[in-house]
Structure 1
C-alpha cells in the first residue's frame, strides 16, 4: 500500500512538472497521428492518437470493452519525446495514468512505446507531415 502511494505521488509530481515545462519555439503545429497496439492481462488493446503543440489526445479501446480518452503532455527533446498522461475509461475502469516515449525513426516516421494503466504496455507507429 505504501509503495502504491509513493508511485502515485511520484507520477502526479512528474505530470505536473511536465505541464509546467515551457514549450519550444519550434513546436510542431501540424498534428502527428499514430496508431497503437498493446496488451493488458492477455487482452489485445488498441488506440489512435494525435499530437500538436506538445499536447496529445488518444482514443483507446481496452479490455472488457472499455473505451476511453487520454490527454497527453509531451516534452520535446532533439530525438525523443517522453510524455505523461491522464485519462478516463468506461466499463468501471475509471481514471487511467499513462507514460511513454516516442522516437523519430526517420524524417516522416516515428515509433514509440508506452504504458497505460488500463490498456497496458503498447507499441506505437506514427507519421509526421
Structure 2
C-alpha cells in the first residue's frame, strides 16, 4: 500500500515539475517576432507582433481600413503557449479581444493560430532567436 502511494506521489510531483519548470532566463529576454495573416468579412487582415517575458504586442490592420494594436499575455507551457489579449482599433471598431495559441515547430520557428474580434481568424509564423 505504501509503495503505491509513494509511486503516485512521485509521478504527480514529476509531472508538476515538468509542467512548471521555468525556461532559460536568457531565452525569456530575447524577442520572438511573428507575422500574421487572416481574414474577416471577406477582407484580408495583416499583423506583426513580438513577444518577450510572456508579454506581447501585436499591431495590425483590419477590415474597412481599421488599424490598431493589442497587448497580449502568454502562458508558457512546455510545447504550446496560449494567449489572451486586449486592444484598440480605429474606424469606430473600438475595443478588440483576442486569443490563440502558439506552438514551437522547431527550435527556431513557431506557428500559431488565433482570433481577434476586429481582424478575425489568423495564422502566425514566427522566429525564436
**Band of TM-score, shorter chain:** 0.7 to 0.9
The RMSD of aligned alpha carbons is 1.6
Instruction: Flag structure 2 segments of 5+ consecutive residues without an equivalent.
Output: 1-19
Corresponding position of 1:124 = 124
1:45 aligns with 2:14: no
Corresponding position of 1:93 = 93
Give the length in aligned residue pairs: 108
Question: What TM-score results when the alignment is normalised by the length of structure 1?
Answer: 0.80
Instruction: Flag structure 1 segments of 5+ consecutive residues without an equivalent.
Output: 1-21
What is the DSSP-based 3-state SS (H/G/I as helix, E as strand, rest coil) of the residue aligned with 1:64? helix
1:26 aligns with 2:37: no
Cα deviations across residues 54-85 of structure 1 (Å, max 9, x unaligned)?
A: 00000010000000010000000000000000
Corresponding position of 1:112 = 112
Q: Give the distance between the partners of 1:80 and 1:25, measured in 2 at CA.
A: 13
Question: What TM-score results when the alignment is normalised by the length of structure 2?
Answer: 0.80
Q: Give the distance between the partners of 1:36 and 1:85, measured in 2 at CA.
A: 15
Cα deviations across residues 77-104 of structure 1 (Å, max 9, x unaligned)?
A: 0000000000000000000000000000
Larger C-alpha radius of gyration, 1 or 2? 2
Moved over 6 A (4+): none
